[in-house]
Structure 1
Amino acid sequence: MIQGLGSVSAASWDACAPSGRGDEDPHNPFVSYAFLSALEDSGCVGKQTGWAPLHILAEGGDGALLGAAPCYLKSHSMGEYVFDHAWADAYERAGGRYYPKLQVAVPFTPATGPRLLVPDGPRAGEIRDHLIAGLRAVRQQTGASSIHATFLQETDLDAFTSRGFLRRDDQQFHWFNEGYATFEEFLAALSSRKRKVIRRERRDAVLHDITIEWLTGPEITEAHWDAFYAFYMDTGSRKWGRPYLNRLFFSLIGERMSERVLLVMAKRSGRYIAGAINFIGDRRLYGRNWGCIEDHPFLHFEVCYYQAMDFAIARGLDRVEAGAQGEHKLARGYKPVITSSAHDIADPGLKRAVSDYLAQERRYVLEAADELSSATPFRRGEE
Structure 2
Amino acid sequence: MSNLKIRIAERAADIPHAAWSAFAEPGHPFLNGDFLRIVEEQGVAIPEAGWQPLHLVASEDDAIVGLLPLYLKSHSHGDFIYDWSWKAVWERFGHRYYPRLISGLPYTPVGGPRLLVARDAADGAAVRNALIGVAKGIVEENGFSTWHVALASPADVEALQTAGLLVSHDVQYHWSDAGFGDFGGYLQSFSAEKRRKVRAERRRAAESGLRIAVRHGGEIGAHEWPALHALYKSTFDRFGNHAAFGTECFAALAATLGDRMVVFTANDGNVPVAVSLCFRSNDTLYGRYWGASRHIDSLHFELCFYQGIDYCLRHGLTRFEPGAGGEHKISRGFTPQVVCSAHWIPDPEMRRLIAPHLERQKAGVAAWQDDARSHLPFRKPETGIA
How far does residue 211 in structure 1 lie from its aligned partner after superposition? 1.1
Q: What amino acid is the match of 1:321? A: E
| Alpha-carbon distance in 2 for matches of 1:187, 1:206 | 17
Q: What are the superposed Cα offsets for residues 311-358 of structure 1, whole Å, 9 maximum, x if unpaired?
A: 000111111001100000001111100010000011111111110100
Q: Secondary structure at the match of 2:151?
A: coil
How far does residue 240 in structure 1 lie from its aligned partner after superposition? 4.7
Q: What amino acid is the match of 1:241? A: N
| Alpha-carbon distance in 1 for matches of 2:251, 2:217 | 12
TM-score norm. by structure 1 comes to 0.95
Q: What amino acid is the match of 1:160? A: L
Q: What amino acid is the match of 1:76? A: H
Gaps of 5+ in 1: 20-25
How far does residue 57 in structure 1 lie from its aligned partner after superposition? 1.0
* Number of the residue aligned with 2:3: none
Contact 1:110 1:324 in 2 (8 A): yes
How far does residue 41 in structure 1 lie from its aligned partner after superposition? 0.6
| Alpha-carbon distance in 2 for matches of 1:316, 1:291 | 27
Q: What amino acid is the match of 2:90? A: Y
Q: What are the superposed Cα offsets for residues 69-91 of structure 1, whole Å, 9 maximum, x if unpaired?
A: 11100111111222111111111
Aligned counterpart for 1:13 among listed residues 20, 30, 42: 20
Contact 1:208 1:268 in 2 (8 A): no
Q: Secondary structure at the match of 1:29?
A: coil
* Number of the residue aligned with 1:324: 324
Contact 1:265 1:275 in 2 (8 A): yes
Q: Secondary structure at the match of 1:337?
A: strand
Q: What amino acid is the match of 1:77? A: S
2:228 matches 1:221: no
How far does residue 244 in structure 1 lie from its aligned partner after superposition? 1.4
Q: Secondary structure at the match of 2:384?
A: coil
Q: What amino acid is the match of 2:171? A: Q
| Alpha-carbon distance in 1 for matches of 2:166, 2:39 | 28
How far does residue 269 in structure 1 lie from its aligned partner after superposition? 3.2
| Alpha-carbon distance in 2 for matches of 1:56, 1:240 | 35
Q: Secondary structure at the match of 1:150?
A: strand
| Alpha-carbon distance in 1 for matches of 2:270, 2:46 | 39
Gaps of 5+ in 2: 1-7
Q: Secondary structure at the match of 1:33?
A: coil
Alignment of 1:157-306 (within 5 A): 157-306=157-306
Q: What are the superposed Cα offsets for residues 44-100 of structure 1, whole Å, 9 maximum, x if unpaired?
A: 111101111010111112x22111011100111111222111111111122101111
* Number of the residue aligned with 1:93: 92
* Number of the residue aligned with 1:120: 119
Q: What are the superposed Cα offsets for residues 89-141 of structure 1, whole Å, 9 maximum, x if unpaired?
A: 11112210111100000010111111111133442111101110111122234
Contact 2:208 2:296 in 1 (8 A): no
Contact 1:220 1:258 in 2 (8 A): no
Contact 2:210 2:268 in 1 (8 A): yes
| Alpha-carbon distance in 1 for matches of 2:283, 2:225 | 25
Q: Secondary structure at the match of 1:341?
A: strand
Among all aligned residue pairs of Structure 1 and Structure 2, give the percentage whose two residues are the same amino acid. Answer: 34
* Number of the residue aligned with 2:4: none
| Alpha-carbon distance in 1 for matches of 2:254, 2:230 | 16
Give the 3 Å change call, closer, same or farther, for CA 374–241 of structure 1 in structure 2: same
TM-score norm. by structure 2 comes to 0.94
Contact 2:29 2:260 in 1 (8 A): yes
Flag as ranges the 4+ runs of structure 1 deviating above 3 A.
none
How far does residue 232 in structure 1 lie from its aligned partner after superposition? 0.7
Q: How many residues align?
A: 375
| Alpha-carbon distance in 1 for matches of 2:29, 2:123 | 24
Contact 1:100 1:143 in 2 (8 A): no
Alignment of 1:124-135 (within 5 A): 124-135=124-135
| Alpha-carbon distance in 1 for matches of 2:369, 2:79 | 21
| Alpha-carbon distance in 2 for matches of 1:208, 1:160 | 50
How far does residue 243 in structure 1 lie from its aligned partner after superposition? 1.1
| Alpha-carbon distance in 2 for matches of 1:171, 1:328 | 13
| Alpha-carbon distance in 2 for matches of 1:143, 1:81 | 23
| Alpha-carbon distance in 1 for matches of 2:337, 2:16 | 35
Q: What amino acid is the match of 2:222? A: E
What's the C-alpha RMSD, in Å, of the aligned pairs?
1.3
